[in-house]
Amino acid sequence: MIFKGGYVGKILRVDLSTKQYKTEPVNEDHLLKLLGGRGLAAKMYYDEIGPEVKPFDEANKIFFITGPLTGVNLPSTTKFQLSTRSPETGMYLCSNCGGDFGPGLKQCGFDGMIIEGKASEWTYLMIRDGDVSFCDARSMLGQNSHAAMNTLKEAIGDPKAAAMSVGPAAERLVRISYINVDTRAFGRGGGGAVFGSKRLKGIVLKGSGTIPVADKEKVDEIRKAAVRDLRDSRANHTKYGTAQYIEPINELGCMPTRNFQTTYFEKSDTVNADTMYEEYLEKNYACFHCTVACGKVCEVKNGPFAGARARTEYETVALLGPNCGIDDFGAVVKGNQLCDEMGIDTMSAGNAVALTMELYERGLITEQDTDGIEARFGNAQAMIDIIRLIAERRCIGDLLAEGMAGVARERPEWRPYILAVKGMPFAAYDPRGFYGNALTYGTSNRGACHNVGGWTIRAELQSGQYDRFALKGKGALVKSIQDNRAYVDSLGLCTVVRGSMNFSAQPDGEVMTSVTGYDFTPLLLAIGSRIYTLERLILSREGIRRKDDMMPERVFKEAVPSGPIKGRVLTEEMYAEMLDEYYDERGWDKDGVPSEQTLAGLGLSDLI
């Protein structure tokens, strides 16, 4: 083996149809070129999921892949990756998740796990080191995702075992269902519905193995220095979590408000980080080996939603709060809790509720469609009730459960009110407030996503380095952030702590040699670029072209009507200028397809 540590060398392949499993060696050449994690998950998808496979076909598979740092004794080595055909967008999906499951998979002796086939009856998987049991999950049907998680942990006899589960929404094939993973989730893209289509209620595991590293003393030294650094550099994450962004994003006029009709929420006094911290925060929580603990458990103590409790993040607050016109933080926590129990993604749910409210206010739907709910912006109880309609597939909820792509297909006349790219609803930033963010949404390899697509907030809104309304230079900026994120996602490390170990735009330091014994560090950016283009190649094979990278009508046609960026618009022509620059930077043709020359230059010709 080339590597002296980091990897454990095997992939577990589980077939639900035959109840058989086997192990396969990891291809070291693929690791050299793609690191692991997101890179390897893309390669496996490329090899095994043809463009003809539909999300709910038995032939669809789920690839869970760790990175070389996952589970290693360094801060926040918690992440692992999923790839599958997305029920929400209908195309390739990559997703990234923390918690204990990824490290636990490696402790069981596996760098990754492939789930294929379809069980004849509802099943859960129990993995103890290298052994896999196919267990009867029929009695778990209807359990919410937390209850299912507890059942799984009881079954393996350890409340601290790592587990993932799906809720009732996944059982009904709601296309925005997520996979609950320990304290985190594979949120976007509908991975939970793929579990549902395979009659898989959950997976629980317990491993006793250790993860080798090439130089243990050096790894210990790096860990201590990183922990010291994180105390100061991530103090705001420890105190407020991602809620710290609510106020600045609103003040800059980038807050999605009432289904992105405007970008400034005038009632933000009660929906912000200080309110969360002073009135709702119960405790912090952390993923595996994390000292930052950016997770916030919030509890509602008073008012109509007293007793509600949820793990609340910026995106959830923005999309269930201001985007639904709601200024009651307690209602947001309640909506968050319901999404978690039902097992649906809070971001897609927030967009779906906001769309319903706009349709209702415009008179395009009535209370007959909403089961009597008065679906007006600002009606907190309506927000909660609409989430339930989606999870239970009742009334308009049945259509919303098909995701934005399904809604647009069924009701093309509603497209002006749908904020999505490639079927993935917008994240919680309005791109008319910083134009690089539009390119982020347009060129993200899973649809409108601020993570995979490139988080330009620091560069465009916080650092002063870029004019947020400039066009020139945004193609290069977005490409650089995307490539960075692609390699970090493939390491198995949380992006919040990356700077403490020098995994920046100019990666440096000795982490990779100390862990793997191989000098990956100078290669990381090129690997990130290779991964991003491999993913685009998959999308191209699935029919994605320039037309699919466009913004929805509201962004191109409607000027922001109020707030700090009143009057701003991003026209199609302006966007096209950025997109052309981006394609040039990537070496993709005018239609967004990677050229042969680019594939050869990135060393991808040998891999595909």
Binding residues for ligand SF4 (CB under 6 A): 76, 78, 98, 237, 286-287, 290, 292-295, 494, 496-497
Name 514's Cβ contacts closer than 8 Å, sequence gap at least 6: 213, 214, 215, 218, 219, 222
The 3-class SS string of 290-354 reads CCCCCEEEEECCCCCCCCCEEECCHHHHHHHCHHHCCCCHHHHHHHHHHHHHHCECHHHHHHHHH
User: Measured from the CB atom, is 3 or 455 closer to ligand SF4?
Assistant: 455
Q: How far is the CB of 511 from ligand SF4 (least distance, A)?
A: 16
The residue among 150 and 495 lying less far from ligand SF4, judged by its C-beta, is 495
CB of 311 to ligand SF4, least distance (A): 10
CB of 330 to ligand SF4, least distance (A): 23
Give the residue among 482, 577, 593 at the shortest CA–CA distance from 545: 593
Residue whose CB is less far from ligand SF4, 227 or 523? 227
Q: What φ, ψ does residue 516 adopt, rounded to 5°?
A: -100, -20
Max Cα-Cα span within the chain: 67
Q: How far is the CB of 182 from ligand SF4 (least distance, A)?
A: 10
* 3-state SS assignment for residue 65: strand
The answer to whether 179 touches 151, Cβ cutoff 8 Å, is no
Q: Which is nearer to ligand SF4, 169 or 294 (CB)?
A: 294
**Distance (Å, whole) CA 608 – CA 603:** 10
Instruction: In angstroms, give the least distance from the CB of 560 to ligand SF4.
Output: 31
d(CA 317, CA 330): 10
Closer to ligand SF4 by CB, 78 or 529: give it.
Answer: 78
Considering beta carbons, is residue 134 or 503 the nearer one to ligand SF4?
A: 503
**Please, which residue, 82 or 384, has the CB nearer to ligand SF4?**
82
Residue 594 phi/psi, 5° resolution? -60, 135
Instruction: Name the minimum Å distance from CB 289 to ligand SF4.
Output: 8
DSSP 259-300: TTTBS--TTGGGSSHHHIIIIIEEEEE--TT-SS--EEEEE-
CB of 431 to ligand SF4, least distance (A): 24
Shortest gap between Cβ of 427 and ligand SF4 (angstroms)?
16
Q: How far is the CB of 384 from ligand SF4 (least distance, A)?
A: 26
For residue 199, which of 118, 83, 136, 139 has the smallest C-alpha distance?
Answer: 118
How far apart (Å, rounded) are the C-alpha atoms in residues 106 and 11?
10
By beta-carbon proximity to ligand SF4, the closer residue of 292 and 387 is: 292
Q: Compare residues 224 and 566 and give the one whose CB is closer to ligand SF4.
A: 224
Judged by beta carbon, residue 227 or residue 476, the one nearer ligand SF4 is 227
* 8-state DSSP, 496: G
Q: What residue type is 115 in one-letter code?
A: I
Closest approach of Cβ 239 to ligand SF4, in Å?
12
d(CA 144, CA 148): 6
Q: How far apart are CA 442 and CA 12, in angstroms?
A: 35
Quote the tokens at residue 100.
């204990």
